[in-house]
Structure 1
Amino acid sequence: MNKINHPPHYGGDNPYETIKVLESWLSIEELKGFYKGNAIKYISRAGKKGDELEDFKKAKYYIKRLIKMKKFRKLKKLLKE
């Protein structure tokens, strides 16, 4: 089990993992805010609750999801043209 991408205390890698549920239920704008907020949270507290590198990796996880979302929206827009 990956502590960064699929921590066991958030449901692990299963269909009801919290991140998957949020991605299904939230609007695009809500999800974007969720990702940004979590990235900011992990960067701002890096090293204060434990391993600084782990906090930066967690922030990177959410930033990568924002990037994927942006790429997907661009591709979707191109396909509509």
Structure 2
Amino acid sequence: MPITVVFLGKLADLAGTPEKEVEAPLDWEGLLDELQGPLGDAAMADRTRVAVNGELLADKTALSAQDGDEVALLPPVSGG
């Protein structure tokens, strides 16, 4: 069962899709390998957050996802 990577906000625009399936297991370096160009750059930005199965990671480089997990990339939230 693959891992589902969900892109929210402007990250979905950069990805051209709201989600992508990738093979498990997945760590931070593996995720960056999957996200090329501007999308990868946006994922690396300090203010972009990562959640695994709905729980925000304090350190996104500690990402460790397994079969069936959902990894969400959350861009910075702007208010108004």
TM-score (norm 1): 0.30
TM-score when normalising by structure 2: 0.30
Point out which structure has higher relative CO (alpha carbons under 8 A, 6+ apart): 2
Greater share of helix: 1
Q: Higher Cα Rg: structure 1 or 2?
A: 1
Q: Which has the higher strand share?
A: 2
